[in-house]
A and B are shown apart, each in its own frame.
Chain A
Amino acid sequence: DAGITQSPRHKVTETGTPVTLRCHQTENHRYMYWYRQDPGHGLRLIHYSYGVKDTDKGEVSDGYSVSRSKTEDFLLTLESATSSQTSVYFCAIRRQGESAQGYTFGSGTRLTVV
């Protein structure tokens, strides 16, 4: 999807285990985002990054951490997964420019915590 790859696409994990989701971009965009999507809630921002090692919290950041050691990679870690973190996770980059402003999303990671 336009230079954004999320991995894994699907994951089932047990409660209490750590989980890391990866987002990789090939277009050198500065801004990257992690969202979760749940029925009735739409897309909610977890964390975002505005550069290497520059990150900030979003609306639903509790229980999540992120890291960005390279421009192209943005990692989302669930320190100790809980059932409430079962969701579809989307990574996004922000495009600039008059004709392309807005987010480009990856294809998502479906995470199930059992």
Chain B
Amino acid sequence: QQQVKQSPQSLIVQKGGISIINCAYENTAFDYFPWYQQFPGKGPALLIAIRPDVSEKKEGRFTISFNKSAKQFSLHIMDSQPGDSATYFCAASDNYGQNFVFGPGTRLSVLP
């Protein structure tokens, strides 16, 4: 039972473009929404996270947009670079991070 849906499965973007990855959840008890970045041969690494009391969080070129009523959140990567090429996972947890549920991942390729 997939509690967090993620799309697209794969994404190809030109250098300098905007990459957008979308996630949707069902459990209204979720209260913490992180994004993880994974490079080949490595474990996922926490990239940016948001709580439902704000609608947007920005860290450098990475922005999370959050829509509580629609139960959706998205990752925007501005000015995408080839070094951003990786697999991105959205996740959600309740109880202030008790256990996380992950989306299936999006493989991003940024062309030079």
Contact = CB atoms under 8 A, between A and B. Distances in A.
B46 A43 contact: no
Contacts of A40: 9, 104
Interface stretch (B11-19, B66-74, B75-83, B94-102): B94-102
Residues of B in contact with A, size category: 20 to 34
Given A102-B34, A102-B49, A103-B46, A96 B104 contact: no
A107 B89 contact: no
A1 interface: yes
A108 B41 CA distance: 8
B18 to A, nearest CB: 23
Specify which of B32, B44, B97 lies most central, judged by the most chain A CB atoms within 10 Å of its CB.
B44
Contacts of A92: 43
Contact of B104 (A41, A102, A106): A41
B104 A48 contact: no
B102 A42 contact: yes
Contacts of A104: 45-46
Interface string A95-112: 010000111111110000
Interface size class of A (residues with CB under 8 A): 20 to 34
Given A42-B89, A101-B49, A102-B34, A90 B44 contact: yes
Nearest to A103: B100
Contacts of A105: 43-45
Contact of B43 (A1, A42, A44): A1
6 contacts: A42-B104, A43-B102, A105-B44, A105-B45, A106-B43, A108-B43
Interface of B: 6, 9, 32, 34, 36, 41-46, 49, 89, 96-97, 99-100, 102-105
Given A104-B45, A107-B41, 17 more contacts: A1-B42, A41-B104, A42-B89, A42-B102, A42-B103, A42-B105, A44-B102, A90-B43, A92-B43, A101-B32, A102-B46, A102-B49, A103-B44, A105-B43, A106-B43, A107-B43, A108-B41
